[in-house]
Chains A and B, each alone.
Chain A
Amino acid sequence: MIWLTFRQFRAQAIAALAALALLAVAYGTTGSHLVHLYNASGMRGCGSGPACLSRASTFIDAMKADQVYPALFFVGIVILVILPAIIGAFWGAPLVARELETGTYRLAWNQDVTRTRWMAIKLAGVGLAAIATSGLLSLLFSWWAGPINAAGGFPNNFSQFVRMTPLMFASQGIVPAAWAVLAFVIGVVAGILVRRTIAAMAITIVVVALLQFLWPSYVRPHLLTPDRATAPITAVSLNSMLVSSHNAVTVAINQPGTAQLPGAWVVGDKSVTPSGRQFFLPGTATSVCAKGSEQQCQDWIASHHLTQVVDYLPASSFWPLQWTEAGLLLVLAVGLGGIATWRIRRLLT
Chain B
Amino acid sequence: MPSLSLKKAIHSSQPAGPMVSAAIEASNLGREYGSHWALQDCTLNIPVGRVTGLVGPNGAGKTTLLNLATGMLRPTAGSIRVLGGAPGRGTEQLRKVGFVAQDTPVYAGLSVADHLKLGQHLNARWDGDLAASRISELKLDPRRKAGRMSGGQRAQLALTMALARRPELLILDEPVARLDPLARMEFLEGLAQAAAGRQMSVVMSSHLVSDLERICDYLVVLVAARIQIAGPVTDVLGRHHLVSGPSVDRSGLPAEAEIIAAVRNLGQTTVLVRAASAPQHQAWTVTRPSLEDVVLAYMSRAGQGTAEGPATQGTEMEAAR
| Interface residue ranges, A against B (CB under 8 Å) | 1-4, 7-8, 11, 102-107, 109-114, 348-349
Contact = CB atoms under 8 A, between A and B. Distances in A.
11 contacts: A8-B110, A102-B108, A103-B102, A104-B106, A107-B105, A110-B72, A112-B91, A112-B94, A112-B95, A112-B165, A113-B94
B200 to A, nearest CB: 15
B10 interface: no
Would you list the 4 A-B pairs with minimal beta carbon distance, nearest first? A106-B101, A111-B122, A110-B99, A349-B74
A110 to B, nearest CB: 4
A36 B74 CA distance: 67
A109 B118 CA distance: 12
Q: Most chain-B Cβ atoms within 10 A of its Cβ — which of A102, A105, A110?
A: A110
Contact of A112 (B72, B105, B108, B123): B123
A112 B122 contact: yes
Interface residues on B, range: 35 or more
B103 interface: yes
B103 to A, nearest CB: 6
Contacts of B94: 110-114
Contacts of B117: 3, 7
B103 A103 contact: yes
Interface of B: 70-74, 88, 90-91, 94-95, 97-99, 101-103, 105-110, 114, 117-119, 121-125, 158, 161-162, 165
A11 B72 CA distance: 29
Nearest to B117: A3
Contacts of A105: 105
A109 B110 CA distance: 17
A121 to B, nearest CB: 11
Contact of B73 (A102, A104, A348): A348
B119 to A, nearest CB: 7
Contact of A110 (B98, B107, B108, B125): B98
Nearest to A11: B109
B121 A4 contact: yes
A1 B101 contact: no
A47 B95 CA distance: 67
Contacts of B107: 8, 104, 107
